[in-house]
Every structure is written in structure tokens, then in C-alpha cells.
Amino acid sequence: MMDSPLVSVQHLSRAYGHLLAVQDVSFALQKGEVLGFLGPNGAGKSTTMQIITGNLAPTEGRITINGIDLLEQPKAAKAEIGYLPEQPPLYRELTVDEYLRFCARLNRIRRDKVDAAVRRAKERCGLEAVGRRLIANLSKGYQQRVGIAQAIIHTPAVVVLDEPTVGLDPIQIREIRDLIRDLGTEHGVILSTHILPEVQMTCSRVQIINQGRLVFSDSIENLNRRMDTTTLVVAFDHPPAADELAAIEGVERVEELADGRFRLHHAPGESPAPRVAETAVTRGWGLRELTPEHKSLEQIFIEITSTEHAVEDAA
């Protein structure tokens, strides 16, 4: 039997006058999950995150955090949430230790438990060596670590991270992604981002929001299956006619490219590559390239959001 979700969002909407920024969004988050909340800028990601964390009231809908209704018991529900907004709420004139002690007290951690809470958060976020340094003097990557440390200092059930790797260099991005995956083992994590590889490399489940609506929700494993190749690019020294390629068993459609190259379309999981190679050798075509093409996450994202636009236009 599955445990009760850490986050349950039911029919969430937020209107600004006649503009619906979020429209009828529903989803759940289980312990141990890292949920990627993906969408283009302006899709409604940050608005949804602000509502879930209690910083913005919904127009309609119900939200429970670890079984506590956010609207009926806001203080108790918010105590179960750790939040890192896109702009980390840092006091740059404080040292890391001073800031985290301040955050511990804000989260009503008992005075005799504060030092232990600060030490634990620093260990989780790799901040042991910089506790006495001013936050202003830290790199952007370490400032993000401090932002995550303040979000987890009270060991919340749910951690919400809004664009946590924006502005970081590649090494810092890798370190923050490793930290997020580690957090996912003990908490439920919602990661809001518009960076496509971020979701694929960090999350266990992905949701795509577009124009305020949830248009896709599935596991990363199923998303990866959608990325399986359905085309081959082939090139020959002595290119055959497209009709000859189309006659090979398993080839559904042939696109002619430049320089004697072709794109062969086939059914998922039924690559005709061995038959293409065998035919090329038999007929002396001089096969010099046979490359499976994989869909990128970007292509899938465009397909999903374009389909949604097409449905809206047809309605």
C-alpha cells in the first residue's frame, strides 16, 4: 500500500483578473521522489511554487502538505516545507554560521538544538569549511548551497527548489545536482526549472506545464522510452534510389538528405539497421554511415507543447 503523499495538489488555479496563470493543476509528491516541474518561462512554474509554499493564495483548489491543509492550517503546513526561491533569501553581510543560526530560529528550532541543526545542514550541503566566511565573499555556487541549507535546516518533509542552478558554472551545476539527488533520499523534492537536461539528470518523475496547464506527467523511465530512436541516418558512396531503400523490410519512410545521405523512418524498437547493412553490401552501395537518431528531450518537449497548442486552436 502506497503511503499518503507528502504533497497533494487538487484542481489548483490562480487568476489575475481575466488571465489564468495556473489552470486546474493536480499532482502528488511521494517521499523519496524528485519531481521535475518543467516548462518555458512564463508557463506558470513559479506561480505554482509560490502557491504550494504558501506565499501566494490560490483562486481555487486544495493543497495538503504532509497531510496538513495549507489553507486551513497554514503555519503547521509551512513548517513541513523548505523553500529556495529563484533569488536565494541571503543576508550577504552575515557569515554562513550566523545566517543559518538565524534561519534555525526563524523556523522555531529550540535554542539548545540550533547548533546541531546548523551543523547537520552544513554537512548535507558541503559547507563545513566556510562557516565563518561572509556570504558576500562566497562564489555563486556556494551561495546556492547556503540557500539550500536554509531550506532544509528544520528537516522539512518537502523541499521546493525554484531554478536552483541558474547562473552557475558547469562544475557548480554538477555539484548542486548531486546535492538535490541526495536530498531526494530523505525528503520529497520539487524542482522547478526550464533547463531540460536538469530534469533528465536529477529527477525521478517529470511534469510539464504550458500556459498554466499540466500537459505531461510521467516517470523519467517512460520519458526516456519516448526518446528511443525511430530513425536511422545512412550514407553511401554509391547512393541507391529512395525507392530501393523504402523496399527494405521495416523501413516506413525515406527522406533524402544531402551528399548521398538518407533518413530512414521505422517503428519504435524495430530498427531495420541489420537489413540495411546487408542490402548495402549485397548491392555494392558502399555503406559509410549508419547512425540511429535519438529524440532529444527538447524535441519531446516541443512535440508535447505543440500538440497542446494544436488542440487549443482546434477547440
Distance, C-alpha 304 to centroid of its chain: 15
Across the range 220-245, mean pLDDT stands at: 85
Q: Which residues pair with 13 in a beta bridge?
A: 60
- Domains of the chain, with CATH numbers? 7-225 (3.40.50.300), 228-293 (3.30.70.100)
pLDDT (tens digit per residue) in 102-138: 999 999 999 999 999 999 999 999 999 999 999 999 9
Q: CA-to-CA distance for 60 and 303, rounded, in angstroms? A: 29
Across the range 155-159, mean pLDDT stands at: 95
Sheet architecture: strand order including 60-65: 19-29, 7-16, 60-65, 68-69
pLDDT (tens digit per residue) in 172-181: 888 889 999 9
Q: What is the pLDDT of residue 166?
A: 83
Helices (H), 184-296: 196-202, 220-226, 242-246, 273-283
Residue 33, φ and ψ in degrees, nearest 5? -95, 145
Burial of residue 86 (number of CB atoms within 10 Å: 0-12, 13-18, 19+): middle
- What confidence category does residue 300 fall into, taking pLDDT thresholds of 50, 70 and 90? confident
Note the pTM of the prediction, 2 decimals.
0.78
